[in-house]
Structure 1
Amino acid sequence: MGITLLSCLGVLPLFGFAHANPTIDSLIKKRKSLPNIIFIMADDLGYGDIGFNGQQKIKTPHIDQLAQEGMVMTQHYAGSSVCAPSRASLMTGVNVAHAHVRELSAWTASGKAIDLAAEDVTVAQELKRVGYSTGIIGKWGLEEGAGTGNVLDHGFDYFYGYKTHTEAHHYYPEYIWKNREKLQLPDNESASKKGEYSNDAFTREALAFIQKNSKKPFFLYLPYTIPHNELTVPDESKAPYENLGWPKKPMDVSGHYHHDPEGNTTYAGMISRLDSYIGQLMQELKTQGIDDNTLVIFTSDNGPGSDKGIFNSTGGLRGRKLTLYEGGIREPFAARWPNKIKPGSTSDQPAAFWDLLPTLCDIAGIKPSVKTDGISYLPTLLNQVKNQKKHDLLYWEINESQGPIQAIRLGDWKGINAYQKPFELYNLKVDPKESKNLALSNPGVVAKIKQMMISYRTENPEFPLTKRTPNYGNDGSNPETIKSK
């Protein structure tokens, strides 16, 4: 990449002529006025797991306050209903119809690991064009071993956390990554829950990042791993939820995790601990005197994967993680930006993860350097709804053990094409819980959406619409092409 005027911004003053050029003057002035941006993302947190979306059992006062002091978007969607493709979409502004990463590495056709591609441009790279310091603390999940996904090669100045999604499955890890260094944590022991809880460490690092960068514009991406499996949390976070008469049993979990024995109190405690982190972060912004110039966004990467009823984690929406019903992809979303976003405001404007990159570029006063599938929702945040562009459609796909599924939202219509199942069509305006399939009575809409599922999507040899078995070290087997219905 060639050296640009903006990339030289920090060097020019040393030569004594920075202010001789009005263009440089305006760039310096603009840089000083840029807001800080903190994007906080939970992991497997459901639409209904947060108080501002109706949660009754789990207490989230700090997140609720963030929402009260800003805007709640009620129809904000993840990039996918599973980890890696959702995060890739968030970072690149490209949805899974066109993305390099469309599934976890276990589901590639070749059996090879899949990383963010070298040519993928992230929101961090875009913001660095105008002088932002950039950091990610938490779960990256886009470097699985292909050699192209290192976070420091994709626009981030600082990294502390997990590279891969499987590393992030344990809360007392025996090592953590700091930039390119693998830090051993000899006091930690995953199985016995000894040492420092990883998300506590992420918060400590995030506070330090804010302190270090408080005098210049920064972008902090903070992808926590709560409340993803494994279900474990320090005892003090469970204490408020003990002896409440909840069922004392493990939650719906499996795999290589070291779960705490009582899943319900643990799940609630994890979310409340996450809430406490948000409280610490918001207080630090005030302490540093940068609260008024910081945009804070809170959301989740996909639907819930553990709760099956006691907490109503989906907020009554159908489906969960790994499905393309609303419960799998519609996420809690709150944004706070003092003197910019009206406190207590709500928007039902549909938006998605791939809108973040153009939105933050819009805030920074630049255009994306690459083509994206996204639309800036800055007009919505600023209550300038007349200026808000709208999507022609929203697209998702997922292909794990259940076979390939595609979904398109077209206005209020949503079509779902699942492997060897009848086509489903719902009107989300009147039926957000997707309870009444209207496909048979609306053949024209069905035909239109089916055609879009073919024409809108670009082929990716690693992610064909075939039924596959997971690789887990082999090359997969017995693909079976999705059947048209």
Structure 2
Amino acid sequence: MRKNILTIGSLFLSFWVSNAQQTAKLPNIILVMADDMGWGDVGFNGNRIIKTPCLDRLAAEGVRMDRFYSAGPLSSPTRASVLTGRNPFRTGVFSANEGILRPEEITLPELLKQAGYTTGHFGKWHLGTLTCKEVDANRGRPENKHLYNPPAWHGYDVAFVTESKVPTFDPMLKPQTNNGRFWDYIQDKDTFLTYGTFYWDVKGNKVSEGLAGDDNRIIMDRVLPFIDRSIAEEKPFFSVVWFHAPHLPCVAGPEHAVLYENYSLEERNYYGCITALDEQVGRLVSFLKNKHVYENTIILFCSDNGPELNTPGTAGSYMGKKRSLHEGGIRVPAFMVWPDRIKTPGVLKEPCSTSDYLPSLLNMIGVAYPAGRELDGESFWPLIIGMASAKKKELVFCSGRQGAVIQEKYKLYYLEGQYELYDIEDDPYEKHNLAEQLPDVTKRLRKVLLAQLKSYESSFFGKEYGRKSYDKVGQDWWDITQ
């Protein structure tokens, strides 16, 4: 039997058993996500250049998840999985800027709201448009009314969101001359152009105040008052904080760029915006401690996929980057802290994914998922508290013409009719294809992939809640095998 928490001991288990009946006070929940941050872009995974002291400290104090995966190698699919616990192919969120988070889906904020939480979403949305009255971001425009899909439709009380990417410093601006990817912060504000992606509140109003400077700080400036109000109202809070950093365009402010002044334009801005993100997570933790709610707050951190191509971002030694279902595209930095319940730091070795967030959190607070829907995720809480040694469900991924299945130590990778098989525990960098050596394992995992694709297709066409959103959005099913 494998031991999944390397450093867990009887102290934590005895604490859990003795306090099992003392959980009437619901924990606060904060989901923090970086955008295009590679597995190797943080100190706790070995980076020796990028300064991430707060993230490193939290990973060391809680449970570091060494085999944690984004549900897709792109932004929108992963985000859909976080909020639904389901594979994004079930609702047609096949890729970035593709499909919407269908209103018929049962979401985590909806379930938590019913349980008594106040709910807020801050930063990136990327699950539909936020306006159909003007041109905004990638898809917001009058002709795309069928893609209008704001957070208010999914259980949120408060929102401060953009449809998609923004520059990571002065998010509403861009220089007159730029490559769309990296630039040093704008010093002469008389020469700027409007970037074209806007912030919106939960009522659909465009936000125009307080949008200068570091985008990570701008987001946190909205998160902290939301938390403060929740505390004053004596309500548990659920806060989704989806930073834009380090997604392109990467821009670091002066105080963070100077930390990397001896590096290239690309490096100082990439590294700087990650350190700025780290600083705001530290600000969040300090605020929670000052308000005496940190101990009973669950914080989950991850990235939405691997690092973008042709950037300083790194997936360490893992194969592939963003858009790939090889490890470097979906294996992401991740950890969980909950000081009231996790007393002993640990390392979770079992493969888990963003689809597991919803069932795990419901498990932690004792809320049942409604019957009648396929749930692809599985709670990782029993692994953390030592009540289970392995997960029961496989992890299944789909993107473009790729597919992948992770089951115990094996990973099947599919691309355009070809299958590869890896022992991902002994060969995490996917160097030795075992498909011909282990045909039975390859056949078994291939069968899992094809069966799941049929299940996803059935959900996509409305088996569980009808065809209203399917007809409205007007998508075709995306078959990765064609």
Asked if Structure 1 and Structure 2 have the same fold, meaning a TM-score greater than 0.5 normalized by the shorter chain, the answer is yes
* SS of residue paired to 1:85: helix
Partner of 1:159: 159
Sort the Cα spacing of 1:82 and 1:168 in 2 relative to 1 into closer, same or farther, 3 A.
farther
Preserved CA contact (<8 Å) 2:70 2:353:
yes
Preserved CA contact (<8 Å) 1:96 1:395:
no
* SS of residue paired to 2:88: coil
Unaligned 5+ segments in structure 2 are 1-20, 130-143, 173-193, 462-473
Partner of 1:242: 261
Identity across aligned pairs (percent)? 30
Matched, 1:379 2:382: yes
CA drift at 1:389: 5.7
| Partner of residue 179 from structure 1, selected from 168, 185, 202 | 202
CA drift at 1:70: 0.7
Sort the Cα spacing of 1:158 and 1:168 in 2 relative to 1 into closer, same or farther, 3 A.
farther
Preserved CA contact (<8 Å) 2:168 2:216:
no
CA drift at 1:180: 2.3
Query: What are the within-5 Å matches in structure 2 for residues 431-442 of structure 1?
Result: 431-442=427-438
Sort the Cα spacing of 1:414 and 1:124 in 2 relative to 1 into closer, same or farther, 3 A.
same
Query: What are the within-5 Å matches in structure 2 for residues 218-257 of structure 1?
Result: 218-243=237-262, 246=263, 248=264
Matched, 1:53 2:70: no
CA drift at 1:461: 9.5
Unaligned 5+ segments in structure 1 are 1-28, 107-113, 189-194, 249-261, 465-474
| Partner of residue 102 from structure 1, selected from 94, 99, 109 | 94
Query: What are the within-5 Å matches in structure 2 for residues 266-281 of structure 1?
Result: 266-281=269-284
Matched, 1:117 2:89: no
| Partner of residue 82 from structure 1, selected from 74, 87, 101 | 74
Preserved CA contact (<8 Å) 1:50 1:332:
yes
* SS of residue paired to 1:284: helix
CA drift at 1:307: 5.5
Sort the Cα spacing of 1:219 and 1:77 in 2 relative to 1 into closer, same or farther, 3 A.
same
Preserved CA contact (<8 Å) 1:58 1:268:
yes
CA drift at 1:79: 1.1
Matched, 1:407 2:404: yes
* 2:407 aligned partner, one-letter code: L
Preserved CA contact (<8 Å) 2:38 2:333:
yes
Preserved CA contact (<8 Å) 2:34 2:243:
yes
Q: Structure 2 CA distance, aligned partners of 1:293 and 1:354?
A: 23
Partner of 1:34: 26
CA drift at 1:105: 3.8
* 2:449 aligned partner, one-letter code: M
Q: Structure 2 CA distance, aligned partners of 1:480 and 1:456?
A: 12
* 2:412 aligned partner, one-letter code: G
Encode CA deviations 1:44-83: one digit per residue, 9 max, x unaligned.
0011111111111101001111111111011111110001
CA drift at 1:392: 3.0
Query: What are the within-5 Å matches in structure 2 for residues 395-474 of structure 1?
Result: 395-399=396-400, 404-419=401-416, 422-458=418-454, 460=457
Q: Structure 1 CA distance, aligned partners of 2:389 and 2:119?
A: 28
* 2:150 aligned partner, one-letter code: N
* 1:89 aligned partner, one-letter code: S
Preserved CA contact (<8 Å) 2:85 2:377:
yes
Preserved CA contact (<8 Å) 1:417 1:423:
yes
Sort the Cα spacing of 1:168 and 1:356 in 2 relative to 1 into closer, same or farther, 3 A.
farther
Sort the Cα spacing of 1:196 and 1:181 in 2 relative to 1 into closer, same or farther, 3 A.
farther
Encode CA deviations 1:319-360: one digit per residue, 9 max, x unaligned.
110000011111111111113113431110211111111111
CA drift at 1:99: 3.5
Partner of 2:297: 294
Sort the Cα spacing of 1:158 and 1:73 in 2 relative to 1 into closer, same or farther, 3 A.
same
* 2:204 aligned partner, one-letter code: E
* SS of residue paired to 2:403: strand
Preserved CA contact (<8 Å) 2:37 2:306:
yes
* 1:373 aligned partner, one-letter code: D
* SS of residue paired to 2:383: helix
* SS of residue paired to 2:295: helix
Number of matched pairs: 405
Q: Structure 2 CA distance, aligned partners of 1:32 and 1:49?
A: 38
Matched, 1:209 2:226: yes
Sort the Cα spacing of 1:93 and 1:450 in 2 relative to 1 into closer, same or farther, 3 A.
same
Cα RMSD between the aligned structures?
2.7
Partner of 1:339: 340
CA drift at 1:98: 2.9
Q: Structure 2 CA distance, aligned partners of 1:157 and 1:373?
A: 26
Query: What are the within-5 Å matches in structure 2 for residues 323-334 of structure 1?
Result: 323-334=324-335
* 1:179 aligned partner, one-letter code: V
Q: Structure 2 CA distance, aligned partners of 1:454 and 1:151?
A: 33
CA drift at 1:365: 1.0
* 2:330 aligned partner, one-letter code: I
CA drift at 1:149: 2.6
Partner of 1:70: 62
TM-score by length of 1: 0.78
Preserved CA contact (<8 Å) 2:122 2:161:
yes
Q: Structure 2 CA distance, aligned partners of 1:68 and 1:230?
A: 30
Partner of 2:364: 363
* SS of residue paired to 2:399: strand
Preserved CA contact (<8 Å) 1:32 1:217:
no
Sort the Cα spacing of 1:105 and 1:183 in 2 relative to 1 into closer, same or farther, 3 A.
closer
CA drift at 1:457: 1.2
Q: Structure 2 CA distance, aligned partners of 1:333 and 1:58?
A: 16
* SS of residue paired to 2:48: coil
CA drift at 1:390: 1.0
* SS of residue paired to 2:444: helix
* SS of residue paired to 1:221: strand
Q: Structure 1 CA distance, aligned partners of 2:111 and 2:459?
A: 27
Q: Structure 1 CA distance, aligned partners of 2:370 and 2:480?
A: 36
Q: Structure 1 CA distance, aligned partners of 2:345 and 2:40?
A: 18
Q: Structure 1 CA distance, aligned partners of 2:396 and 2:36?
A: 20
Preserved CA contact (<8 Å) 1:97 1:395:
no
Q: Structure 2 CA distance, aligned partners of 1:51 and 1:199?
A: 19
Q: Structure 2 CA distance, aligned partners of 1:476 and 1:392?
A: 29
Sort the Cα spacing of 1:353 and 1:235 in 2 relative to 1 into closer, same or farther, 3 A.
same
